[in-house]
Structure 1
């Protein structure tokens, strides 16, 4: 039994290692070609600084503490906006999905608001809430609301109607229906909405910080553009990419844990 377990564990580690290696091939190739072109003057080093130059600037900013300070501010803004908008979106999606009257009352307005370009709302948020933290967090929350709202609504409506009949036989109240029936059955859609909300939160964080901020990664990018510090611009872009990938991977891990009962196609 122990031998079989060790064999399974080693096979799993081997599979994970293989995925990591395959996923690293294209980034390593791109960085290698980029380094070669920049080092040999084939491309403009001001517009495309070598990866080694960017890495050196990254190290200096880490040591000075400048980068950590900007990153902490950005993460707090993104998470506050996501938690506010995502939780409200999940709650609204569950309510509208559970109750037909709520759908008739709320969903037309929600769908109308969902189609408004978020960039068009930016000037209004600045006028209403100023250039402080409130406008930035609320803009992120507005964008994070709709992916979870739509997917929670669809998740509830995709629940097998026979399960509700079983819930009636078991005399479940509304709270137990939601916690024991609706949420587990709608979980694939909810987790998809969670991933989309997180990605939108990072996207709108850039918009919020570029529209007027004195700290944050978006401000860092804007300031570096003004002084033609392209290496710092790339550092900011890589930070957003890494933060987005990290949060998405965390949700994927949660998805794997919560949906391990599913027998889905693996490719």
Structure 2
């Protein structure tokens, strides 16, 4: 009788716990399935994989004789030329000149883009006066304005700085203005209910809401400053990386041209990575796929 009772109790206990364990296992499986949709953990230095692959293919093709050394020199030949130019002192001077031009034009374009976006995005009067003009400027190729700017400003540094500033301010303005216009109106209503002043509203609602779009425009502006510089330094310039490449073209020095392109690429990658790092730190409160 005792054995029958014990068996009955064990059977009852098993039947009671089994349904409880099943939903827990099912929930665990669902969580695992959801996690597979995300890109996964961020790996260090992943953005260098692409350039490393290109460099490896370039080296293999050069070593195998698949590339004409006169048209595309080997990576070690380009590195040797870069070391020679650096030792001679011409490359450091050209790099410094290019950095100064890019930094000056970028600073002016950044300031103009932010101010115009704030005025246009926060007031209807500003939007009516600014937004249409900026979009008209965007529709006109910036490089097509070079002849007009040469007539207005000459061929000195002012002309180059002005063109770089235009190339920079347009993407910064467009993305910042779009971010400002896309702020949820419920946040505006909440700020009004809380009695925030205009300055408090800008600091607590507008700036946090517009920062993601602003950083997108900032990355495009940084890249644009280098793209504009490549062209401008080949127009009546006497120094800079673009001038060095233009002179190398006249003498058929492909290795020197590639040195200039590599330096442009390195600075572009470094500046874009710097903006990404700042963006992740400033927007650390966001939970996105990239984070």
TM-score, normalised via structure 2 length: 0.81
Map of 1:9-48 to 2, 5 A cutoff? 18-20=43-45, 23-48=47-72
Residues 113/49 of structure 1: CA separation in 2 closer, same or farther (3 Å cut): same
Is 1:223 matched up with 2:257?
no
Q: Which runs of 5+ in 2 are unaligned?
A: 1-40
Q: 2:217 aligns to what? A: 193
Is 1:258 matched up with 2:246?
no
Residues 109/32 of structure 1: CA separation in 2 closer, same or farther (3 Å cut): closer
1:35-70 alpha-carbon deviations (Å, 9 max, x no partner)? 343345432211111111111111122222211110
Match of 1:232 among 243, 256, 265: 256
Q: Which runs of 5+ in 1 are unaligned?
A: 1-14
* Structure 1 residue 124, shift from structure 2 partner: 0.8
- RMSD value, Cα: 1.8
Is 1:151 matched up with 2:167?
no
Q: 1:213 aligns to what? A: 237
Match of 2:156 among 118, 124, 132: 132
1:178-230 alpha-carbon deviations (Å, 9 max, x no partner)? 12210111100011111111111111111111122100011111111111111
* Structure 1 residue 258, shift from structure 2 partner: 1.0
39-48 or 94-103: bigger deviation: 39-48
Is 1:67 matched up with 2:91?
yes
Residues 25/149 of structure 1: CA separation in 2 closer, same or farther (3 Å cut): closer
Q: Spell out structure 1 runs of 4+ moving beyond 4 A.
A: 22-26
- Aligned pair count? 251
In 1, distance between residues paired with 2:210 and 2:148?
35
Q: 1:97 aligns to what? A: 121
Q: 2:20 aligns to what? A: none
In 2, distance between residues paired with 1:98 and 1:250?
29
